[in-house]
A and B are shown apart, each in its own frame.
Chain A
């Protein structure tokens, strides 16, 4: 759709540019300049994102197993077959996908909620200056700055059954468990994944909320203080409502990142995650690259994208309506 818009000849230039350009030679060059400047970015996005996406959609209608991968164009069409398999929740493939989807939704909601909560609390607590604030701020940004695989590998070490810190503290030191637990397999893996995801993700919320706090006018607080509002009242009545526009962007971005996250579960669990922590992205990876069923994997990817589009669209609609309602 982008390309058609770009192919149309530009008949009308905006007034200022046109007036100046028409007085000089090289008007055409001037008018095509923005397109030339955009061309590299556009070509790259087309090549690496949009064309593969179209190929992915085509693949989802094909019976694409490892036999056809060399020349995937020759793979037989399967119509909606891959989609039927993916959403047949009574059969193993569909059932596993549904399970993985529900796990991902639960995980994402919890992770985003905790990241937002911790990030906001930290930002609000660090709004005023106090001794050691700069140092603490730098420390808080370390999880965000660490490459994901080094951070997650460290957590893998901490979650080890025999020589990990987590079991050492919970079992040997605090005696909270009867015997050392397994964290990277079985039901506990969900909490392990959640812990790592929150540890890695909350500083981003902290960064964005801190930025949002700087835009709240001081006078609002001063006026509230004159009216006799206490610290907590000021936070509830001024700080949190003022953060609403920032939060709308933040929550959406956190949601998309967490929902699509592949790196964290992949480094934490390897190619196939335990059932309790089987996130959709790893599940699709496993369906495609481990069991070699690329057609089904593609269909699952397309379903995932449709879900994300609906959620994002609905969210944007809701928040913009909310904003309009607030304006009235």
Chain B
């Protein structure tokens, strides 16, 4: 049955306005990154007076962007890999085994999601400093400390999503593997993980995005050599001259990998969110 006319009319207006709302900042980011400095310091102009790629060259020397980039890649990459592996084990345990404390475990882990980050920022900072003093393991200010912190941010959500995915893989499959003489870990790696790979991809995308976009802990727990993009990008705007064209160029360079990755893999993430949210 064809939709009503009023519906079609309203749909057109609403979606057009919404697309405009979404697009304007994206347009500003892209167009400003290609403007000469005079265009971004004076009155706002919709169109550049002349296109230039200069900002894309200068961003690397105004602040040590390459170093921040590498730091972010290492931190987000390592946090993602660790978080996914740990979440796969935990979700497998919850999905395939009945054991005492199962409910307590899932509730405890999930409830850590609701803690405001500010609540444990300072205690964690003190804890890392104390562990460092006691054992010599440098957690505060190091990439390791940040990796450790970030991987726990995405962990609860990842476990939650993966339980849903693993539950949807028929138990018969890995039980058959167990009967055939596979160990439980082999059954997990050979049967369950491949069957739930879309969910694992989704969890990886989510973990990476969480780590790549975090600001609070990055600004307290890093120093000059370990600074990530989240803090590094602010360096452009605290200078006496604000190079808005360079800030926009750097923002784009930083965003394109995650946005492209997300759009490529969003199908999996959406499916994962569904499994989690609808149940």
Contacts and interface: CB of A to CB of B under 8 A. Distances in A.
Instruction: Classify the secondary structure of B's interface with A.
Output: helix
A183 interface: no
B92 to A, nearest CB: 6
A155 B32 CA distance: 12
Contact of A246 (B93, B104, B234, B277): B277
Interface stretch (A33-41, A80-88, A90-98): A33-41
Given A48-B149, A122-B15, A145-B263, A41 B109 contact: yes
A45 B108 contact: yes
Interface residues on A, range: 35 or more
B29 to A, nearest CB: 5
Interface stretch (A185-193, A258-266, A319-327): A258-266
Contacts of B24: 158, 165
Main secondary structure of the interface of A (DSSP, over half): helix
B184 interface: yes
Interface string A241-252: 000011001100
A290 interface: no
Contacts of A309: 114
B127 A44 contact: no
A249 B259 CA distance: 26
A142 B259 CA distance: 7
Given A49-B152, A149-B233, A297-B122, A212 B263 contact: no
16 contacts: A5-B100, A6-B100, A41-B159, A42-B109, A45-B108, A48-B120, A48-B149, A50-B108, A50-B112, A52-B120, A121-B14, A136-B19, A149-B234, A210-B270, A260-B116, A260-B117
Given A158-B25, A301-B116, 20 more contacts: A2-B105, A5-B101, A5-B104, A38-B105, A40-B90, A52-B120, A138-B266, A143-B25, A154-B251, A157-B244, A199-B22, A260-B115, A262-B118, A262-B215, A267-B215, A267-B234, A284-B118, A288-B118, A298-B122, A305-B115
Interface of B: 1, 3-4, 6-7, 10-11, 14-15, 18-19, 21-26, 28-29, 32, 40-44, 86-87, 89-90, 92-94, 97-102, 104-105, 108-109, 112-124, 126-127, 148-149, 151-152, 155-156, 159, 184, 209, 212-216, 219-220, 229-230, 233-234, 237, 244, 247-248, 251-252, 254-255, 258-259, 262-263, 266, 270-271, 273-274, 277-278
Interface of A: 1-2, 5-6, 8, 10, 13-14, 17, 30-31, 33-35, 37-38, 40-42, 44-45, 47-53, 55-56, 59, 69, 72, 118, 121-122, 125-126, 128, 136, 138-151, 153-158, 162-165, 167-168, 172, 199, 207-208, 210-212, 214-215, 225, 230-232, 245-246, 249-250, 256, 259-260, 262-263, 266-267, 280-281, 284-285, 288-289, 294, 297-298, 301-302, 304-305, 308-309, 312
